[in-house]
């Protein structure tokens, strides 16, 4: 088996990506910690929906993926417009 095909300690190939993703199982009121100061709490699970609570320092941006993508597109558009002015 090739090194990249092996699965180590919960790491799995991410769909549509070449990167690997850590996959964890959690239940309501359980959490995970990222670094020293970010906590993700499972607040509720209903059907295929999961509600997350996020405790993070104010200087850490937290967005849903679709909002983050929209922000990045807007920044790229603004940079493109600025370059055209220069």
The residues, any chain, with a CB within 8 Å of residue 38's CB and separated by 6 or more, are 54, 55, 56, 57, 60
The pLDDT score that the predictor gives to residue 21 is 83
The pLDDT score that the predictor gives to residue 79 is 93
Whether this model's pTM surpasses 0.85: no
Q: What is the mean pLDDT of the chain?
A: 86
How many angstroms separate the most distant Cα atoms in the chain? 54
């Amino acid at each position: 088996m090739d090194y990249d095909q092996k699965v180590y300690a919960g790491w799995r190939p991410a769909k549509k990506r070449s990167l690997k993703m850590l996959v964890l199982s959690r239940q309501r009121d359980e959490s995970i910690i990222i670094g020293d100061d970010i906590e993700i709490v499972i607040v509720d699970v209903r059907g295929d929906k999961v509600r997350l609570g996020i405790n993070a320092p104010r200087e850490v941006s937290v967005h849903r993926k679709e909002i983050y993508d929209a922000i990045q597109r807007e920044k790229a558009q603004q940079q493109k417009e600025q370059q055209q002015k220069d």
